[in-house]
């Protein structure tokens, strides 16, 4: 895997695919700077070596040249975060950017206009990619958020940088951290898979059975397993057509020697509301008219014990409706257990979907080993898929 460390950027122009797809408010002000901050280490490494950076990104889903989605809106925020002047050119290919690059002083940063102003970007158009490729000496892909898309700037462009392509710091660390769970995790390896539906996690579960010793299943998706086992789940979330699949997973896990931990009890309520009355029921004995919305006390304790014994942890999906404070305690207890295990030397990866939102919301993001920055891309990596943006750099 080639990284920034394999190149000397002194006097060179790095053409860097970043993910500056940040949220904007009605006045086009950046409301969350996480993604710009995430790209900073790569940009600074190139600048510190005496190189220049040409940054390319998409922003939103523009139809034609929608000026509301111009990357010009993020220039001042990028300048604040990077601490350097950021030049902007209102195009991605052709005369204007070519000239801007030719005139680019050493140690400078130039941001191109939104790549998706060109339909060729998402089409993976080769001549568009070739034109972009004229804007740099070395191609760096640091856009994990779009690594699962075979777009011109993420996958196709690497063909024009044979031997001159590498991963940026962010993308390299995402790959390394996933591999640390999926390929060479120190045992015992535990995956905590929660969230709403079995159907959206099925591929991950099937793939993960080859990598883990323990599988904790929580959240709404657990009820499909419990019902399939003959339990009474009241009005809890269920996918009736996935019951057989759930039983197959349990069988497959047992054949592979993976210990599966399902909830023991659950916090129940009659209405999907933060203010509704709650009770606790055993997971197989939920009364009619009641639904389970959070992990119960015995479940929290059991799951935490498994987590404390683990050396490698993957957290994907909350174990309750954590958006409502009344049903957030189970997810908070798990975050706490993961943080403690991490403190005691375990490696913990939080990735894919709402578990990232949960660890951030409850302020555990700096108490785990790694929080992934890419929702869809991380899910696809955990599913064992080859991401086009990663494959392109590996093959270049």
Question: In the range 338-367, which residues lie near ligand AMP by CB under 6 A?
Answer: 353-354
Q: Which stretch binds ligand AMP (CB under 6 A): 41-49, 100-108, 153-161, 190-198?
A: 190-198
Question: In the range 366-385, which residues lie near ligand AMP by CB under 6 A?
Answer: none
Q: Residue written as tokens 């979330």? A: 237
- Token couple for 17: 């695919």
Name the minimum Å distance from CB 384 to ligand AMP.
18
- 376 counts as catalytic: yes
Question: In the range 298-337, which residues lie near ligand AMP by CB under 6 A?
Answer: 317-318, 320-321, 323
Q: How far is CA 169 from the centre of its chain?
A: 15
- 302 counts as catalytic: no
Q: Answer yes or no whether residue 174 interacts with ligand AMP by CB under 6 A.
A: no
Question: In the range 92-151, which residues lie near ligand AMP by CB under 6 A?
Answer: none
Question: Distance between CA 88 and CA 288 in Å, rounded?
Answer: 61
Q: In this structure, are residues 8 and 49 in contact, taking their beta carbons and an 8 Å threshold?
A: yes
- Token couple for 145: 């958020």
- 35 counts as catalytic: yes
Closest CB to ligand AMP belongs to which residue? 195
Q: Which stretch binds ligand AMP (CB under 6 A): 36-44, 192-200, 249-257, 275-283?
A: 192-200
Q: In this structure, are residues 290 and 281 in contact, taking their beta carbons and an 8 Å threshold?
A: yes
CA dihedral 375, 292, 348, 371 (to 10 degrees): 30
Identify the active-site residue in 2, 40, 65, 197: 197
- Residue among 168 and 194 whose Cβ is closer to ligand AMP: 194
Within 140-217, where are the H helices?
169-182, 202-208
Q: For the chain, how long is the longest CA-to-CA vector?
A: 72
Name the minimum Å distance from CB 38 to ligand AMP.
21
Name the minimum Å distance from CB 210 to ligand AMP.
21
Name the minimum Å distance from CB 223 to ligand AMP.
7
Q: How far is CA 43 from the centre of its chain?
A: 21
Residue 350, beta-bridge partner list: 315, 371
Q: Which residues are catalytic?
A: 35, 197, 353, 376
């Amino acid at each position: 895997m080639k990284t920034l460390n394999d190149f000397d950027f002194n006097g060179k122009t790095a053409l860097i695919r970043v993910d500056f797809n940040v949220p904007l408010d009605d006045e086009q002000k950046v409301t969350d700077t996480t993604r710009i901050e995430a790209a900073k280490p790569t940009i600074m490494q190139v600048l510190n070596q005496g190189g220049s950076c040409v940054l390319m990104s998409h922003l939103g889903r523009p139809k034609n040249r929608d000026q509301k989605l111009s990357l010009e809106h993020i220039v001042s925020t990028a300048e604040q975060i990077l601490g350097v002047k950021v030049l902007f050119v209102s195009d991605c290919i052709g005369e204007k950017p070519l000239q801007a690059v030719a005139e680019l002083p050493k140690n400078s940063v130039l941001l191109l206009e939104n790549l998706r102003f060109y339909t060729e970007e998402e089409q993976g158009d080769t001549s568009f990619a070739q034109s972009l490729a004229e804007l740099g000496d070395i191609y760096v892909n640091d856009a994990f958020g779009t690594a699962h898309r075979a777009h011109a700037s993420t996958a196709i462009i690497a063909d024009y940088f044979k031997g001159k392509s590498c991963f940026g710091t962010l993308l390299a660390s995402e790959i390394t951290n996933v591999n640390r769970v999926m390929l060479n995790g120190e045992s015992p390896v535990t995956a905590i898979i929660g969230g709403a539906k079995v159907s959206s996690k099925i591929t991950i579960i099937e793939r993960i059975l080859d990598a883990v010793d323990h599988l904790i299943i929580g959240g709404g998706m657990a009820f499909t397993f419990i019902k399939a086992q003959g339990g009474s789940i009241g009005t809890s979330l269920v996918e009736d057509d996935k019951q057989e699949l759930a039983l197959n997973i349990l069988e497959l896990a047992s054949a592979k020697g993976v210990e599966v931990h399902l909830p023991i009890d659950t916090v129940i309520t009659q209405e999907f509301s933060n203010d509704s009355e709650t009770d606790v029921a055993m997971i197989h004995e939920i009364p009619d008219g009641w639904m389970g919305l959070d992990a119960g006390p015995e479940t929290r304790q059991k799951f935490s014990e498994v987590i404390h014994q683990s050396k490698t942890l993957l957290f994907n999906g909350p174990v309750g409706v954590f958006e409502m404070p009344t049903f957030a305690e189970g997810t908070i207890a798990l975050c706490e257990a993961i943080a403690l295990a991490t403190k005691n030397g375990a490696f913990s990866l939080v990735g894919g979907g709402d578990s990232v939102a949960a660890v951030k919301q409850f302020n555990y993001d700096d108490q785990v080993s790694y929080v992934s920055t890419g929702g869809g891309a991380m899910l696809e990596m955990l599913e064992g898929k080859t991401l086009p943006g990663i494959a392109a750099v590996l093959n270049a």
